[in-house]
Chain A
Amino acid sequence: MRTYLIKRILQGIPVLFALSLIIFFVINLAPGDPLAGMMDPHITSEDLARRREQLGLNESIIVRYFNWLKNALRGDFGRSMKVGRRPVAELLQERLPNSIILNVAAMLISWLLAVPIGIFSALKQYSLADHTITFFIFIGLSLPSFFFALLAIYIFSFKIPIFPIGGMRTPGAPFSILDILYHMALPAIAMGFLGIASMTRFTRSSMLEVVKQDYIRTARSKGLTEKVVIYKHALRNALIPIVTIFGLSIPGIFGGSIIIEQIFTWPGMGTLSVKAVFSRDYPVIMAVNMFYALITYLGNLIADVLYAVVDPRIRYD
Chain B
Amino acid sequence: MTQNNEVQESLIHGTTDKIESLWLIVWKRFKKNKLAVFGAIILVILSLSAIFAPLIAPYSLEEMDFMSMDQGPSKAHWLGTDSLGRDIFSRLLFAGRISLTVGLVAEGISLAIGVILGAISGFYGGKVDTLIMRLVDIFSCIPFLLLAITVVAVVGPSIYNLMVVIGIIGWTGTARLVRGEFLKLRNMEFIEGAKALGASDARLIFLHMLPNSFAPILVTATLGVGSTIMFEAALSYLGLGVQPPTPSWGNMIQSANDIIIFQDKPYMWLPPGIAILLAVLSINFLGDGLRDALDPRMQVN
The reply to whether chain A is a binding partner of chain B is yes
Binding site for B on A (CB under 8 A): 14-16, 18-19, 22-23, 26-27, 29-30, 135, 138-139, 141-147, 150-151, 153-154, 158, 251-252, 254-256, 258-259, 262, 273-274, 277-278, 280, 285, 288-289, 292-293, 296-297
Q: How far is the CA of A30 from the CA of B269 in the complex (A)?
A: 34
Q: How far is the CA of A251 from the CA of B145 in the complex (A)?
A: 12
Is there an interface contact between B277 and A147, defined as CB atoms closer than 8 Å? yes
Q: How far is the CA of A262 from the CA of B155 in the complex (A)?
A: 22
Instruction: For A252, give the chain B residue with the smallest CB separation.
Output: B143
Q: A138-B285, A147-B277 are in contact. Are A289 and B234 (CB under 8 A)?
A: no
Q: How far is the CA of A30 from the CA of B149 in the complex (A)?
A: 14
Give which listed residue, A26, A144, A252, contacts B150 with CB less than 8 A: A26
B237, CB-defined interface residue at 8 Å: yes
B284, CB-defined interface residue at 8 Å: yes
A14: which B residues are within 8 A, CB to CB? 134
Is there an interface contact between A255 and B143, defined as CB atoms closer than 8 Å? yes
Is there an interface contact between A255 and B277, defined as CB atoms closer than 8 Å? no
B151: which A residues are within 8 A, CB to CB? 26
Other A-B contacts than A30-B154, A143-B280, 9 sampled, CB-CB below 8 A, are A15-B138, A26-B150, A142-B226, A150-B253, A158-B262, A273-B146, A273-B149, A293-B141, A296-B143
Instruction: For B283, give the chain A residue with the smallest CB separation.
Output: A142
Is there an interface contact between B238 and A251, defined as CB atoms closer than 8 Å? no
Is there an interface contact between A259 and B145, defined as CB atoms closer than 8 Å? yes
Is there an interface contact between B150 and A150, defined as CB atoms closer than 8 Å? no
A-B contact pairs, 20 of them (CB 8 A): A15-B138, A15-B141, A18-B138, A23-B150, A27-B150, A135-B35, A138-B35, A139-B281, A143-B280, A144-B277, A252-B143, A255-B145, A255-B146, A258-B143, A259-B234, A274-B149, A277-B240, A288-B146, A289-B150, A296-B142
B244, CB-defined interface residue at 8 Å: no
Is there an interface contact between A293 and B142, defined as CB atoms closer than 8 Å? yes
Is there an interface contact between B154 and A16, defined as CB atoms closer than 8 Å? no
Is there an interface contact between A142 and B280, defined as CB atoms closer than 8 Å? yes
Instruction: For B266, give the chain A residue with the smallest CB separation.
Output: A154
Q: How far is the CA of A104 from the CA of B268 in the complex (A)?
A: 34
Instruction: For B149, give the chain A residue with the smallest CB separation.
Output: A277
B230, CB-defined interface residue at 8 Å: yes
B256, CB-defined interface residue at 8 Å: yes
B262: which A residues are within 8 A, CB to CB? 150, 153-154, 158
Q: A144-B233, A144-B276 are in contact. Are A289 and B138 (CB under 8 A)?
A: no
Interface centre among A151, A258, A262, A277 (most CB of B within 10 A): A277
Is there an interface contact between B234 and A145, defined as CB atoms closer than 8 Å? yes
Is there an interface contact between B253 and A146, defined as CB atoms closer than 8 Å? yes
A16: which B residues are within 8 A, CB to CB? 141
B277: which A residues are within 8 A, CB to CB? 139, 142-144, 147
Q: Say how far A82's CB is from chain B's closest CB, in angstroms.
A: 14
B273, CB-defined interface residue at 8 Å: yes
Q: How far is the CA of A144 from the CA of B251 in the complex (A)?
A: 13
Give the residues from 216 to 250 in chain B that come closer than 8 angstroms, CB to CB, to chain A: 226, 230, 233-234, 237-238, 240, 250
Is there an interface contact between B234 and A158, defined as CB atoms closer than 8 Å? no
Give which listed residue, B142, B226, B230, B269, contacts A289 with CB less than 8 A: B142
Q: How far is the CA of A297 from the CA of B138 in the complex (A)?
A: 10
B283: which A residues are within 8 A, CB to CB? 142
Q: Say how far A195's CB is from chain B's closest CB, in angstroms.
A: 14
Q: Say how far B301's CB is from chain A's closest CB, in angstroms.
A: 15
Is there an interface contact between A150 and B276, defined as CB atoms closer than 8 Å? no
A274: which B residues are within 8 A, CB to CB? 149, 238
A296: which B residues are within 8 A, CB to CB? 140-143
Q: Say how far A88's CB is from chain B's closest CB, in angstroms.
A: 15
Give the residues from 43 to 71 in chain B that come closer than 8 angstroms, CB to CB, to chain A: none
